[in-house]
Chain A
Amino acid sequence: DVKVTQSSRYLVKRTGEKVFLECVQDMDHENMFWYRQDPGLGLRLIYFSYDVKMKEKGDIPEGYSVSREKKERFSLILESASTNQTSMYLCASSPGQGGTYNEQFFGPGTRLTVL
């Protein structure tokens, strides 16, 4: 069974704090993704990584950075959390082979509240 785990289900942080969201997958997938989900807006891609140390910006990268030092782990960093970053954050992974026929496997999500 493919498993994607996220470090926290719920997180409450204060404005200005540096926030780390961790994601680990156990299927040796090349691709990993960070999305945020807001009501009425669906999922929006923040960052994407197709290999260790490789990353690409998604649609809404402002205010975020990422780190992928190991294949199984993809971290999302909020350098200085703001209230408009209150959201559900979803991590996903997919194999590199097979191209866009591959499904993405999602973690359970982290609901982040910034006060």
Chain B
Amino acid sequence: SQQGEEDPQALSIQEGENATMNCSYKTSINNLQWYRQNSGRGLVHLILIRSNEREKHSGRLRVTLDTSKKSSSLLITASRAADTASYFCATPYSGTYKYIFGTGTRLKVLA
């Protein structure tokens, strides 16, 4: 399968704590994106990290990318109950517009 593997599959933390989720692929990574999905809804784009970048920040989000290890991580700092959602990584197949999504991490932030 070409799917990206994400871990953990599920994560439960207290409000105010940091949440880290990881994503790895068997194929090479290009321009990796992270998406968020609230329960039963479509996905919403969070952040893009380009293949020549190692780290990127956006608000409370911090993304790292290691192309040699074909992996990425998403850190959400000072989590809030509203961050409760599933998070997916996605990278395009080389040279195409088709994306390989990860299997997702379900995050639950307890108030």
Interface set of A (CB-CB < 8 Å, partner B):
4, 31, 33, 35, 40-45, 48, 50, 56, 58-59, 90, 92, 94, 96, 99-101, 103-109, 111
Q: Residue on A with the closest CB to B46?
A: A103
Once A42-B4, A42-B104 are accepted as A-B contacts, the answer to whether A104 and B41 lie under 8 Å apart by CB is no
Q: Does A42 lie within 8 Å of B45, measured CB to CB?
A: no
- B 31-68 contacts with A by CB, 8 A: 31, 33, 35, 40-45, 48, 50
Q: Does B42 lie within 8 Å of A100, measured CB to CB?
A: no
Choose one: A43, A103, A111; the contact of B101 (CB below 8 Å): A43
Give CA–CA (A112, B40) in the complex, Å.
12
Give CA–CA (A55, B101) in the complex, Å.
20
Residue of B3, B9, B42, B101 with most chain A CB atoms under a 10 A cut-off: B42
Q: Does B97 lie within 8 Å of A106, measured CB to CB?
A: no
Q: Does B97 lie within 8 Å of A48, measured CB to CB?
A: yes
Q: How far is the CB of B37 from chain A (nearest CB, A)?
A: 8
**3 tightest Cβ-Cβ pairs between the two chains A and B:** A106-B42, A103-B45, A43-B101
Give CA–CA (A50, B31) in the complex, Å.
19
Residues of B within 8 A of A99 (CB): 97
Choose one: A45, A96, A107, A111; the contact of B99 (CB below 8 Å): A45
Residues of A within 8 A of B33 (CB): 103-104
Q: Residue on B with the closest CB to A4?
A: B42
Give CA–CA (A12, B6) in the complex, Å.
31
Residues of A within 8 A of B102 (CB): 42
Residues of A within 8 A of B48 (CB): 101, 103
- Cβ contacts A to B, 21 pairs, < 8 Å: A31-B97, A33-B99, A40-B9, A42-B103, A42-B104, A45-B98, A58-B98, A92-B43, A100-B30, A100-B31, A100-B97, A101-B50, A103-B45, A104-B43, A104-B90, A106-B42, A106-B44, A107-B42, A108-B42, A109-B40, A111-B40
